[in-house]
């Protein structure tokens, strides 16, 4: 059973104007010290963009946490190159999975978009880096001219586009966009690193580096929650287009849950390496299908049934394809017609990559996706 996590809420965007500043501090000792540059990089109707550059003046860091407080009621609405949280006026920015190491005199940068309930946007006046105060004078920099749209994040690493609206390496990182809920969902033991990025809820990807050991490491996915009985659905269709590496142990798959996770339907559109479905029977070639060459939903499948010990699992496996359109409702109704289940309540319908292992750092991309129901 794939672990699931709760969605994180996003703050609403309100209007503000931008200011800019630079804050620096000399280190108190050779072991710890920092210099911070905070710059409002763009402004537009209803919001602002800011960038922060940390210069480490002390010993090399393997991870970092930067804390500051806003004095003008600002709230962060989106961030990149950092795992960022806000509690009241206090903001805590932590390193992502790929930028925790900072050498002595080295720098690391991140950015965010924000909003304010007022008309001014005062620059924070104090920062602490891993508990060390970075205090000093504030010197203004030139304020930016108005911009029609938020600034785009810089490219934080291979495979992550510079125009990504969301980047996060957190184990349970999530983002809601245009009705879709996107999850990083690193749930298996022995996992490596994985960074989730997204332009939208339907155009996203992951950069992953998981050891090629047994057991699923993660299931980064996008999807919707239906909470509809099967008989009440008139349609449930989906289209997908993905780009995947040529080697590794993974499957591109839908994961559909029903009856409060009593049933799980896996629909594999491609697979690679040492992966296979759960089945009732196995032979020398692996899992044995209950039904072979079933034509349903616009494709031809081998169908398996089994249990992972926590819930029943039904798996539809087809010849590899990286794009297509599927009538999901006809597949779910086939299960009902053949008495594999009844008039179940369909909960979450998700689509993503079930990753067991990668051949080094690998990129998995959903170029486009749609999920529609009525």
User: CA geometry: angle at 22 spanning 20 and 24, to 5°?
Assistant: 165
pLDDT for the residue 13: 25
Give counts: helices (H), strands (E), the chain.
1, 28
pLDDT for the residue 108: 86
pLDDT tens track for 177-226: 999 999 999 999 999 999 999 999 999 999 999 999 999 999 999 999 99
Average pLDDT across the chain, whole number: 84
pLDDT tens track for 5-23: 333 322 222 222 233 334 3
Q: What is the Cα–Cα distance from 210 to 204, expressed in whole angstroms?
A: 19
Q: Tell me the pLDDT band of 119, cut-offs 50, 70 and 90.
A: low
**For 6-15, 58-67, 105-114, 335-344, which range has the lowest pLDDT when averaged over its residues?**
6-15
pLDDT for the residue 344: 98
How much of the chain exceeds pLDDT 90, in percent? 57
pLDDT for the residue 7: 32
Q: What is the Cα–Cα distance from 81 to 95, expressed in whole angstroms?
A: 7
Question: Which letter does DSSP use for residue 285 in this model?
Answer: T
pLDDT at 28 over 70: no
Mean pLDDT over 31-54 rounds to 76
pLDDT at 73 over 90: no
How much of the chain exceeds pLDDT 70, in percent? 83
pLDDT at 362 over 70: yes
Q: Tell me the pLDDT band of 141, cut-offs 50, 70 and 90.
A: very low
**For 52-66, 135-149, 302-316, 343-357, which range has the lowest pLDDT when averaged over its residues?**
135-149
Q: Model-level pTM?
A: 0.62
pLDDT for the residue 137: 33
Q: Tell me the pLDDT band of 373, cut-offs 50, 70 and 90.
A: very high
Residues 6+ apart with CB under 8 A from 45: 15
In the chain, what is the greatest distance between 2 CA atoms, to the nearest angstrom?
A: 73
**The residue to which tokens 């206090």 are assigned:** 90
Q: What is the Cα–Cα distance from 196 to 83, expressed in whole angstroms?
A: 12
pLDDT, greater one: 262 or 3: 262
Which one, of 147, 197, 161, 206, lies nearest residue 177 by Cα? 197
Mean pLDDT over 86-109 rounds to 86
Residue 307, number of CB atoms within 10 A of its CB: 12
Mean pLDDT over 153-163 rounds to 64
Q: Tell me the pLDDT band of 39, cut-offs 50, 70 and 90.
A: confident
pLDDT tens track for 229-238: 999 999 999 9
pLDDT tens track for 282-329: 999 899 999 999 999 999 999 999 999 999 999 999 999 999 999 999
**For 24-28, 248-252, 292-296, which range has the lowest pLDDT when averaged over its residues?**
24-28
Tokens of 136: 């000093």
**For 151-155, 296-300, 335-339, 364-368, which range has the lowest pLDDT when averaged over its residues?**
151-155
pLDDT for the residue 118: 56
């Amino acid at each position: 059973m794939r672990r699931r996590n709760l969605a994180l809420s996003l703050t609403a965007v309100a209007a503000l104007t931008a200011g800019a500043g630079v804050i620096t501090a000399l280190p108190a000792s050779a072991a710890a010290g920092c210099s911070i540059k905070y710059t409002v990089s763009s402004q537009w109707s209803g919001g602002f963009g800011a960038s922060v550059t940390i210069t480490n003046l002390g010993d090399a860091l393997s991870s970092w946490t930067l804390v500051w407080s806003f004095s003008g009621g600002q709230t962060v609405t989106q961030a990149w190159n950092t795992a960022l949280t806000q509690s009241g006026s206090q903001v805590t920015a932590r390193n992502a999975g790929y930028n925790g190491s900072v050498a002595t005199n080295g720098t690391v940068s991140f950015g965010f978009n924000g909003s304010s309930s007022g008309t001014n946007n005062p620059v924070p006046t104090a920062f602490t880096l891993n508990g060390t105060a970075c205090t000093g004078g504030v010197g203004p920099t030139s304020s930016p001219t108005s911009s029609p749209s938020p600034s785009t994040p810089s490219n934080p690493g291979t495979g992550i586009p510079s125009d990504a609206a969301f980047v996060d390496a957190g184990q349970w990182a999530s983002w809601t966009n245009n009705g879709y809920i996107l999850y990083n969902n690193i749930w298996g033991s022995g996992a490596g690193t994985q960074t989730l990025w997204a332009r939208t809820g339907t155009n996203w990807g992951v950069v992953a580096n998981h050891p090629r050991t047994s057991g699923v490491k993660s299931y980064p996915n996008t999807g919707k929650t239906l909470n509809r009985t099967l008989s009440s659905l008139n349609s449930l269709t989906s289209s997908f287009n993905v780009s995947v590496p040529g080697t590794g142990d993974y499957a591109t798959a839908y994961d559909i849950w029903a009856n409060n996770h009593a049933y799980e339907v896996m629909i594999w559109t491609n697979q690679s390496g040492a992966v296979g479905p759960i089945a009732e029977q196995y032979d020398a070639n692996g899992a044995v299908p209950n039904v072979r060459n079933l034509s349903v939903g616009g494709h031809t499948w081998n169908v398996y049934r089994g249990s992972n010990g926590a819930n029943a699992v039904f798996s539809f496996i087809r010849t590899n394809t990286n794009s297509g359109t599927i009538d999901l409702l006809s597949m779910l109704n086939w299960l009902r017609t053949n008495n594999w289940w009844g008039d179940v309540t369909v909960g979450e319908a998700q689509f993503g990559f079930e990753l067991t292992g990668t051949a080094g750092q690998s990129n998995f991309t959903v170029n486009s996706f749609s999920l529609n129901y009525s």
